Amino acid sequence: MSTPETSRFVRVRVDLVLEVEDEDAVIGAARHRIAEDAELAPEERTHAESAVTEDTAEALAFLVDPFVLVSDVPGVELQQASWSSERIEYDPDAPDWDPDEDDVDGEDEDAQGEEVDGTEYRGYSG
C-alpha cells in the first residue's frame, strides 16, 4: 500500500460493562477527583459535583480516563478521545446481548463522537 492509501490514525473502540457494587465509593472517588482538579473553574466544579452526586454513571464517566489506557503505549500519541456512560439492563446470558450487533459494516453510528445514550466527555485529562 502506498503512503496516500495508508492512514496513520487508528480508531480503537472499547465497550465496558461495569457492575457497581458500592455506589458511595464511586461517587466519593469522583468527588475527590473533582476536588483535586485545579483546572476546573468554580462553575464547572459545582456542575460536576452535582452531576456525579446525582448519578453513579456520571461519576464513572468522570473517573474512567481513556488517556490512561494509552499513556504507556510506545509510539502512539492520543489525538482525540470521547467516552460516555449510561445505566443499562445487563444479562450476560441473554442471546441478544452482543456488543457488535449494531456494527454490521465495521462502522458505528456514533463514530462522529455524538451523544448516543448518556453523557459524553471529550478530552478530560484529569
Which cell numbers in the block locate residue 42? 468554580
Distance CA 65, CA 63 (A): 6
**In terms of Cα–Cα distance, which of 12, 26, 114, 11 is closest to 62?**
26
Using alpha carbons, select from 100, 88, 102 the residue that is nearest to residue 60.
88
pTM exceeding the 0.85 threshold for the entire prediction: no
Predicted confidence at residue 3, as pLDDT, reads 54
Q: What is the pLDDT of residues 10-55, one digit of tens each?
A: 999 888 889 999 999 999 999 999 999 999 999 999 999 999 999 9
Give the pLDDT confidence of 75-125 residue by residue, as tens digits: 999 999 988 888 988 888 887 766 555 554 445 444 434 333 444 444 444
